[in-house]
Amino acid sequence: MSKPFRIFILLLVLAAIGGGAWWYTHRPAGDGDLTLYGNVDFRQASLAFNGSERIAGVLVEEGDIVKKGQVLARLDTSRLAPQVREADATVASQRAMVLKLRNGSRPEEITQARANLASAKADAANANIQLERRVALTVNSTISKQELDTTKAAAAMADAKVEMAQSELELAIAGPRAEELLQAEAQLRGSEAQLELIRQQLADAELVAPFDAVIRSRLMEPGEMAAPTKPVFSLATIGTKWVRAYVSETNLGHVRPGMRAKVTTDSFPDRRLNGWIGFISPVAEFTPKTVETPELRTSLVYEVRVFVEDPDDMLRLGMPSTVTLLPDAAPKPLPQNGKSVDAKAKP
């Protein structure tokens, strides 16, 4: 065999090896199936108190499973409780005032007003008699002008008291004005709103779980000052689970929303969970270092969220997983708006 022929054979073998290597790294895994690698992820939420107060107690630890509505932490309420009692007393007083105005004057009050008027009239009559006597004595210069002026003033004051008593009787008979009742009712509503606000602040002193979840992080401790901008816990939901995987740009055309998949983990290699692609990122990124894939670390990839049915609650947050896509299986139906399942879900 000649030397040029041997060189040709060697080049042909090298080309075949290179082509085979390229096909191996870009082929779908097994019978047209595409294999992806990622980690289990849940929906997450950061919980903070609505008010600013010192934390009195933290009732759960990291890793605890909590139920919706369970109290996780409490604030110090030593200053809120007296405010609730004060606002409650104000509402009670205002309600009594509204009730008084609605009922109007009592019969006893009208009787009393009539008695006051009669008494004022009697005083006025007596004062006028005294004035007439003083005037008669003035003719003979028996009394001084100063005494006469004093008597006139007393008679005028008595007449004024009669007019005042007459007005009070008329007001008692007529009852309160409609405007006074409206004003009192408005003040009552304002007091009730203030009481409701303070009661809500007292209720917000307890931080409760908004859904069934796992405590991921406990970020604050008793004695620290809470604020709406300072999370106390980081939670992960128990319900919806997905695998955050990555697909290379060359394989992007082989995946689509709704595509069926099988998910396995190292902890349960014999259990294959059903799943489907719910979200495909429109933006490429470099492969995260935490994801083990056969491709180079610097390859551009697209994030894919493969939602998983986990009836036995096998999956745990962060668990490494292998996703085998099934292009020949019937896809999962998409919502009516055409968006992929849970496409807006945030990590």
Write the pLDDT tens digit of every residue in 83-111: 999 999 999 999 888 887 777 666 666 77
Tokens representing residue 172 in the block: 């008692």
H or E element that contains 73 = strand 71-75
Tokens representing residue 124 in the block: 């006025």
Q: How confident is the model at residue 338 (pLDDT cuts 50, 70, 90)?
A: very low
Which region holds residue 18: left if phi is over 0, alpha if psi is between -120 and 50, else beta?
alpha
Task: Map tokens 């004035």 to a residue.
Answer: 131
Q: What is the predicted pLDDT for the residue at 87? A: 92
Q: pLDDT tens across 278-327, in order?
A: 888 887 776 665 555 555 444 678 888 999 988 887 888 788 999 998 88
Instruction: Give the integer Cα–Cα distance in Å for 88 and 192.
Output: 8
The domains of the chain are located at 82-200
Side-chain half-sphere CA neighbours of 185 within 13 A: 9
Q: Is the pLDDT of residue 223 over 50?
A: yes
H or E element that contains 142 = none
Rg (CA), the chain: 44
Mean pLDDT of the chain: 79
What's the angle, vertex CA 11, arms to CA 7 and CA 13, rounded to 5? Answer: 115
What are the C-alpha distances in Å from 43 to residues 67, 85, 243? 15, 40, 11
Would you identify the CATH topology of the domain 82-200?
Helix Hairpins (1.10.287)
Q: pLDDT tens across 45-97, in order?
A: 899 999 899 999 999 999 898 999 999 999 999 998 899 999 999 999 998 88
